[in-house]
Amino acid sequence: MKIPPVKGTRDFYPPDMAVRNWLIDGWKRVSARNGFEEYDGPIFEYLRMFQIKSGDEIVEQLFSLTDRGGRDLAIRPEITPTLARMVNQQINSLPRPIKWFSVPRLCRAERPQKGRLREFFQWNIDIIGVEDVLADAEVIFTACDYLEEVGLTPDDIVVKISSREMLAALLQTIGVAENELEPLYMVLDKRGKLPDDTFEQMLTKQVGDKNKRNKIMELMAVESIGQISDCLRLSETSKKSVDELGRLFELLDCFGVADFCVFDIGIVRGLAYYTGIVYEIYDKTSELRAIGGGGRYDNLLKQFGGPNIPATGFGIGDAVLEILLEEKGLLQKQLPARQPDYFVAFTDSQFFEKAVEITAKLRRAGLAASFSYKAGGLSKQLKQASDQNAQKCVIIGSEIENNELIIKDMATGKQELIELNEFFDKCKSEQR
Ligand code: HAM
């Protein structure tokens, strides 16, 4: 009986694993150079942790289970609640600002589609303890720093930025009550993600008053920060958040990533805990789902029983990113070649054991070395060496009786005869 993989999951065969490792190595390298330290948490948590403040959408997508002790648990669909819990636990001893990153494996029971799976990896970058938009700018810079490193340019991707704080103030000016804001955000987040008529039906259900609805739609059509005041009279609170957005764009200019960033009032985010600046990263053609998203969540630590400490961060998934890099032809050429330093070949089966001995010695000296299991002819072994992309070949022949080897450079084809001990001394110095 053949058992297929579970819907929405991936098997990582060695070539897929090479891609995954390359992506994650890049995330780790860029995190480190931007001053972030790595953390991780458990793959499952108490179910209620995700029910507190992540929002209905993610709760509907939870893989949950009850353990033998009757505890309700869930596999993590995101790591932000875990981060809030972990930081709260050690808040008095952690030097601030806390700049942490993680690359968790996450599970969401979403309908599998292009770029959306039931199990995926997500790069998380978060700064905790900084109220200033400088932290939001640094987080956005870090995302751009990585995306640029893998070859994506402002022609390929765009970071769409807005502010929930500003939207809240503007919606309140229109007459939306404070307790109506959160459910309205969830509807507005669907604009552009669902067919227009489905979105309109959702909005009508949420906002009964036609005039209010029209005003909301007029506001959502604004294309620049400057246009907001043409559409609505700004309250003191909205002025403050409009100015804050303006400063964020100035800082992004300072960081040199302004070309990647645009203001987009339609960015609301689907998770319930965001409080201020919010952003999503898309491919420029908007054909794919979001590459990443994040924002400020100043109340989450407090809602998890901790102190009132501000926080901001983002998550970028591996799935859409991989599709985009593949489509742009940027993926395969950047993968590190699997390349043994040496392939140890032998001219006659009587030298097989010597080949194993030399291979082992090379490996113990820290070099990548391989050899053939089959005692085929030398030309077959050399073909195997070039298939494996070996840099050099050690050829063991009758010269070994005088303690000598032939070393063939696979790129130039040049061969040299070398004494065994001299060869290993050379290998050691190559290693250093
Ligand atoms: P999110 O928008 O739910 O945010 O996810 C961020 C990114 O994770 C998405 O843009 C996408 O690339 C990837 N992603 C999400 N769901 C899936 C899926 N089913 N399959 C494949 N990729 C997916 C968060 O998770 C926030 N916790 C991010 C954050 C960190 N905010 C502050 N700090």
DSSP 239-279: HHHHHHHHHHHHHHHHTT-GGGEEE-TT---SSTT--SEEE
- Each residue of 128-139: pLDDT tens digit? 999 999 999 999
DSSP symbol at 347: S
Nearest C-alpha neighbor of 263 from the set 316, 223, 313, 219: 223
Which helix (H) or strand (E) covers residue 101, if one does?
strand 98-102
Determine the atom of ligand 1 nearest the C-alpha atom of 297: 32
Whether the pLDDT of residue 58 is over 90: the answer is no
Q: Report residue 432's pLDDT band, with 50, 70 and 90 as the boundaries.
A: low
Residue 108 CA, ligand 1 centroid: distance in Å: 10
Whether the pLDDT of residue 368 is over 70: the answer is yes
- Each residue of 11-48: pLDDT tens digit? 999 999 999 999 999 999 999 999 999 999 999 999 99
Structure tokens at 224: 């620049």
Residue with CA closest to ligand 1 atom 2? 293
DSSP result, 216-236? HHHHHT--SHHHHHHHSPPPH
- What pTM, to 2 d.p., does this model score? 0.93
Which class for 139: exposed (0-12), middle (13-18), buried (19 or more C-beta within 10 A)?
A: buried
- Each residue of 178-194: pLDDT tens digit? 999 989 998 998 888 88
- The residues near 224 (Cβ < 8 Å, ≥ 6 apart) are 263
Residue 269 CA, ligand 1 centroid: distance in Å: 10
- For range 291-301, the mean pLDDT: 97
Residue 19 CA, ligand 1 centroid: distance in Å: 19
Q: How far apart are the first and last CA of the chain?
A: 52
Whether the pLDDT of residue 338 is over 90: the answer is no
Residue 123 CA, ligand 1 centroid: distance in Å: 9
Ligand 1 surroundings by CB, under 6 angstroms: 78, 80, 108, 110, 116-117, 120, 122, 124, 126, 271, 290-294, 313-317, 319-320
User: CA-CA distance, 142 to 159, in Å (whole number)?
Assistant: 12
- Each residue of 61-113: pLDDT tens digit? 999 999 999 999 999 999 999 999 999 999 999 999 999 999 999 999 999 99
* DSSP 3-state of 359: helix
Determine the atom of ligand 1 nearest the C-alpha atom of 281: 10
* DSSP 3-state of 295: strand
- For range 331-356, the mean pLDDT: 93
Residue with CA closest to ligand 1 atom 16? 116
328 C-beta neighbours (distance < 10 Å), count: 16
pLDDT at 81: 96
Residue 196 CA, ligand 1 centroid: distance in Å: 24
Residues in the chain, overall count: 432
